Structure 1
Amino acid sequence: MTFGINRVHLGVQISYTEFCPPKMPKVATPLTNTKIQSAKSRDKDYMIADGKGLRIRIRKNGTKDWIFLFQLPFTNKGADVCFGLYPTVSLAEARERRARTLEPPMDH
């Protein structure tokens, strides 16, 4: 999507579309164990993204669980899967489960 404003300055037409790069999607900063451990409970549940649909949800009672958000392939509807509680399911294990969930099923 491009938009532009054309201005004339000192007889030279300037198009601002050249100076406005396209908006890039937000890329989540990968989580670390330190960041997860330091996440404190709040008045409401909230999530911190790891990227590619993987998030950790911090509940108001202090428990932390892994949530994976994805789209169902045929219906394109959003769905989520809980991978388990942190620290029972580690960061590395949650990422591994995300990778296994994203890979296409093998034909038998």
Structure 2
Amino acid sequence: MDIKTLIGSTMRADGGASGAKPRGTPDAGERPAAQSGAQPSESVTLTEAAQSMKAAQESAGAVPFDDAKVAEIKAAISEGRYPIDNERVADRMLSYERLLA
């Protein structure tokens, strides 16, 4: 089956169909409500969960970050001075594995 016959026109190099207008593009005589001076008649209300997620996202950007501490840890790792507790790492891996099971 030739996909070009399904679209009804040839494909452009960018993947779009030639002669087709992009979605959301007004026709020649149409103008969006914001341009014609009309007031929008639709509204959006966020759920409590969405508001909570938005607040968490905004506060995540304000997390303190200590560049000096990060540089110190990187240097310790590269020099082999950073202590690794193998049992703690294994316990954490197992606890994550139990969450997935």
TM-score of the aligned structures, taking structure 2 as reference length = 0.20
Flag the structure with higher helix content.
2
Looking at both structures, which has the greater relative contact order when contacts are Cα pairs under 8 Å and sequence separation is at least 6? 1
TM-score of the aligned structures, taking structure 1 as reference length = 0.19
